[in-house]
Amino acid sequence: MAGLAPAPGRVVLVGAGPGDVELLTLKAARLIAEADWLVHDALVQPEMLALARHARVISVGKRAGNPSARQSSINRILLDCAHQGGLTVRLKGGDPLIFARAQEELDVLHAAGIPVEVVPGISSAQAAHAALALPMTERGRRRALVLATPQVHAPDQRNTAMDMEAGAHSQAEEILQAGTHFHHMDAEQSVACVPRPVEPPPVGHQDGKKDFLGNNTEAGAHFHEHARLQKHTRLRAGTHFQKQGHESAVLAALQQVAAPVPTTRRRVMSAAEIVADPELRRWAEAIVAAGSGTLYMAATVATQVRDTLLMLGMDPATPTLWMLDVSLPGQEIIPGTLGTLTPPPAALKGKPALLLVGVPACMGA
């Protein structure tokens, strides 16, 4: 009937996965290709956007140091697209229902009477463990899985580190994953953990970040050539791979740039709340006590992390490794020491980075 507004289109919240375009689901790829409107986050790769055949592409991502869309603005964009009809794909990194503010978008769309669908994606937490062929759960040892976000917006909200304290003493795999702001820098899709010694003697890993993500078949030949030049390489090393017979030149090369450390079995301990100095000190103390730690963070706080660890007595010669572009083919590995730790130039452009402190301790026995 003339004069009536057209029926609104539908909106689909789609998980883009951890970064690798080949980790998109078939349904996600099809919806991107069919979309009339494609509203995407910052961590969505160009190869994924290239799948769109005719969509108008709108970036609403949040990046460190750059102007970012407010959630209220994103909600309005989704409503505007839907009211123009057709298919709107809201493409989110990882899984759209895990720390992606999906509830706010769903509430707004439902209130407006707009049909909504959700297509799951592979979380970066899953992808990190999958890259290592290391299960997130294990019968008799890791019987629970904790996903937590460190971001606290209101003073009366409970501290995530406190919430995770009980899990740190149980048989739980704890993964800290979120957009963590370090001095207003956004490390999206982040994972943070600190290992600690437990009994019985070492038999493997409980922490999916004790190994380095990468391609083991390529690592041995390239690590010696690139490591001291601080160029990128890809590697997999650690006790999990030793047990499977994957010992290679990688392990020997790592041991050349690192001092010996105790070889106790370790498990995950939460390392939340690096957003404020008291919490930074708390988790720095945990790293010093354990002799090692792994943080997936905004690299812009590297100097603060370094100074805090040195102040607590950690040896300046403690080996460190930066890893950029986790799960992507171009990931970079940059070795160094704690005393000379500075952010990699690429990380200062907004890339979240994985920092390993005390490399052999992270690898275990």
* More confidently predicted of 286 and 179: 286
pLDDT tens readout for residues 24-75 = 999 999 999 999 999 999 888 899 999 999 999 999 986 655 566 789 999 9
Residue 143 lies in a domain: yes
User: Are 27 and 132 found together in one domain?
Assistant: no
Residue 325 has a pLDDT of 66
Same domain, 203 and 257: yes
Q: In this model, does residue 322 exceed pLDDT 50?
A: yes
Q: Is position 205 within any domain?
A: yes
Query: How much is the pLDDT for 151?
Result: 45
Domain boundary among 121, 152, 180: 121
Query: 110 and 91 in one domain?
Result: yes
Do both 207 and 320 map to the same domain? yes
Based on the domain organization, do 252 and 135 belong to the same domain? yes
Nearest-angstrom CA–CA distance, 362 and 211: 7
Residue 196 has pLDDT above 60, yes or no: no
The CA–CA distances, whole Å, from 84 to 79, 87, 108 equal: 9, 9, 16
Output the CA angle 55-61-63, nearest 5 degrees. 145
> So what's the pLDDT on residue 204?
25
What distance in Å separates the CA atoms of residue 44 and residue 40, rounded to the nearest whole number? 7
The predicted-structure confidence for 80-102, as pLDDT tens digits, reads as follows 999 999 999 999 999 999 888 89
For residues 154 and 80, membership in a common domain is answered with: no
Q: Domain of residue 161: give its range.
A: 125-363
- Whether 195 has a pLDDT exceeding 60, the answer reads no
Bigger pLDDT: 280 or 30?
Answer: 30
Q: In angstroms, what CA-CA distances link 147 with 125, 172, 274, 295?
A: 9, 10, 17, 15
When pLDDT is cut at 50, 70 and 90, the band that residue 170 belongs to is: very low
Query: Exposed, middle or buried by CB within 10 Å (0-12, 13-18, 19+), for 35?
Result: buried
Q: Which of 57-71, 148-162, 187-201, 216-230 tops mean pLDDT?
A: 57-71
| Residue 1, domain member (yes or no) | no
Per-residue pLDDT at 303: 80
CB atoms within 10 A of CB 74: 22
Q: What is the mean pLDDT of residues 326-350?
A: 72
Q: Tokens 């982040």 label which residue?
A: 190
User: Is residue 78 within 8 Å of 105, Cβ to Cβ?
Assistant: yes
**CATH number of the domain where residue 90 is located:** 3.40.1010.10
| pLDDT over 60 at 76, yes or no | yes
SS (H, E, C) 302-341: HHHHHHHHHHCCCCCCCEEEEEECCCCCCCEEEEEEHHHC
pLDDT at 5: 60
Q: Are 15 and 117 in contact (CB under 8 A)?
A: no
Top-confidence residue, 222 or 351: 351
> How high is the pLDDT of residue 240?
33
Please name the residues in contact with 233: beta carbons below 8 A apart, sequence gap of 6 or more. 214, 218, 219, 222, 223, 225, 226, 227, 332, 333
In this prediction, residue 278 carries a pLDDT of 55
Q: Are residues 222 and 346 in the same domain?
A: yes
116, two tokens: 């909504």
- Domain assignment present for residue 5? The answer is no
pLDDT at 299: 67
Assess whether 173 and 279 both reside in one domain. yes
Percent of the chain with pLDDT over 70: 49
On whether residue 272 sits in a domain, the answer given is yes
**Is residue 3 in a domain?**
no
Structure confidence at residue 346 (pLDDT) = 60
**Which of 15-19, 220-224, 256-260 has the least mean pLDDT?**
220-224
Q: What's the confidence (pLDDT) of residue 40?
A: 96
Indicate if 231 and 282 belong to the same structural domain: yes
pLDDT of the residue at 282: 72
Domain tally, the chain? 2
At residue 19 the predicted structure's pLDDT band, cuts being 50, 70 and 90, is: confident
Same structural domain for residues 255 and 143? yes
Token representation of residue 164: 């995770």
Pairwise CA distance, residues 65 & 267, whole Å? 34
Indicate if 330 and 199 belong to the same structural domain.
yes
At residue 304, the pLDDT reads 81
Question: Confidence band (pLDDT; 50, 70, 90) for 351?
Answer: low
Q: Give the pTM.
A: 0.54
Give the Cα separation of 27 and 119 in Å (integer): 8
pLDDT at 246: 33
Give Dmax (Cα) for the chain: 79
